[in-house]
Amino acid sequence: MRREIHDTRFTASQAETIRLFSQRFRGWQDSNGSFATKQPRWHTNSKLQASIATWLNANSSTDKEDFAKYCLVNLDNNLELLDKHLSAFLENIGYKRAKIIWKTLRERQISNQSLPLENSLEEVYQYAWLAASNPRYFYENFQRESPHLLRYTEVKIKGVIL
């Protein structure tokens, strides 16, 4: 279950940015005691959360794409914290994409019983999670001056999963 940011200093958009860049995937847990249904377990990293809050307070921009670009532009300065922010971001985007892809695969399997579905959501997500472990490699071909970082991320994650 994801913890929500309930700090009244932040707008809903800012709270979403904080969540995307500070929550890290920590494995799977049974949902309602059923082994068939597992939910991801997320952990909020307090150092990452404080870092984003500081950035949001110091900058007029509160967009998640702007923070991701800030991390990318400054990644060459060997700031380990920015690497972790991007990794958390990729884990979150990857989970969202994996869920969509897995649901589509399930629907296709239901409509065509001869199509076997051997992959669970956990198996589908593992590809995105592995890509998230190395944001420098993931973004090495991204043109940093491009205004389409979020779209690039979503498309590339989808490609990694499929």
Distance CA 140, CA 76 (A): 11
How far does CA 6 lie from the centroid of its chain?
A: 20
Distance CA 97, CA 78 (A): 28
Query: Apex CA 75: angle with CA 71 and CA 78, to 5°?
Result: 135
Distance CA 17, CA 25 (A): 16
Tokens of 88: 């958390």
Tokens of 135: 């944001």
Position 61 scores a pLDDT of: 75
Distance CA 136, CA 86 (A): 9
Position 2 scores a pLDDT of: 47
* Residue 37 parent element (H or E): strand 34-44
Lowest mean pLDDT among 25-39, 94-108, 138-152: 25-39
Distance CA 28, CA 47 (A): 23
The pLDDT tens digits of the residues spanning 54-108 come to 999 898 777 899 999 999 988 888 678 999 999 999 999 999 999 999 888 888 7
